Amino acid sequence: MSGETPMAGDFPSLLAARKLTPWPASAESAPVQTQATTVFAFHFAEGVLMAGDRRATAGNLIVTDRVEKVIEIDATSLLAIAGVPATAFEMARVMQTSFEYYRRSQLQALSLPAKVRALARLLRENLPLTMQGVGVVAPLFAGLDQSVSPAQPRVYFYDPLGAQFQTVDYVASGSGSGTIRSILSFQERYGQPRPSEMKLGEAVKFALRLLMVASEFDSATGGVNPAARSFATLKVLRASGVETISDERQEEYLK
């Protein structure tokens, strides 16, 4: 190779010396990501209600209307996912396993600050995929603060890089979140009753109507359609623990 240009010692230099061009990676050939969107949570008179529609999309296609986007992590914490379900569901499984392992090995549950940081750490570990534009997750987390008496539910939201923030009244994430936040803000300021003053039945009906409105402006939000037996995932966190609002109860509250 005495007559050739010296190589820097890396693979691109070798290709250039041999006048070879690497096969270009095309973004158009990448598979379309499945996305799950539109989750929200707000404080009501008895605790925190966390809700999500059940639609998952891939580009302009509806993949399914049966996704459970609000996940019970343990007896005192909930996770709502917005983003790529494959990544979010794996984060939920890791949290469920690690929280249960800690409880069994230390004979006590993790504190709420430790749980909040655990999710932030998982999001930071997902940073390489986030920076590539794949595997992005922007979740919501609700947990029971047992350092005060009586115990109080708290709600946190995260950005895809792992920054965590506590919300006082309400929060939403996903493609339909803009509409939902606007209605929540208006209702909290000027409505009667305010979300924070609602009883369970009022809060459930209000949450279902929020999804109905959001679905009118966002095709990625599944909404609620009692005639088609299509409802939301609704879970309530109180000092006593987690309660799931079944489809039958949702239908009854709407009536």
Bigger pLDDT: 139 or 32?
Answer: 139
**Active-site entry in 21, 34, 37, 167:** 37
Q: Is the peptide bond before 12 cis (omega within 30 degrees of 0)?
A: no
Looking at residue 10, the DSSP 8-state letter turns out to be S
Chain centre to alpha carbon of residue 130: 15
Active site (annotated) includes residue 233: no
* pLDDT at 33 exceeding the cut of 90: no
Beta bridge partners, 41, equal 50, 171
What pLDDT score does 216 carry?
Answer: 95
Average pLDDT over residues 242-254: 96
CA 183 to CA 92: how far, in whole Å? Answer: 29
Decide: residue 171, CB within 10 A, 0-12 exposed, 13-18 middle, 19+ buried: buried
3-state SS class at 165: strand
Kindly report which listed range (128-132, 206-210, 243-247) carries the lowest average pLDDT score: 128-132
Range of weakest confidence among 18-22, 160-164, 166-170, 236-240 = 18-22
Q: Which of 23-32, 100-109, 128-137 has the lowest mean pLDDT?
A: 23-32
- Cα 60 to chain centroid distance, Å, stands at 21
**Mean pLDDT, residues 120-142:** 92
Q: What is the pLDDT of residue 220?
A: 93
Q: One-letter amino acid identity for 190? A: Y
pLDDT in tens, 134-174: 889 999 999 999 999 999 999 999 999 999 999 999 999 99
pTM here is: 0.86
Between CA 46 and CA 97, with CA 117 as vertex, the angle to 5 degrees is 85
Is the CB of residue 47 less than 8 Å from the CB of residue 238? yes
Burial of 181 (0-12, 13-18, 19+ CB in 10 A): middle
The residue-averaged pLDDT of 119-125 equals: 96
Least confident of 21-25, 38-42, 96-100: 21-25
- Helix spans in the chain (H): 11-17, 85-106, 112-125, 127-131, 177-190, 200-217, 247-254
Q: What does the block give as tokens for 143?
A: 């947990």
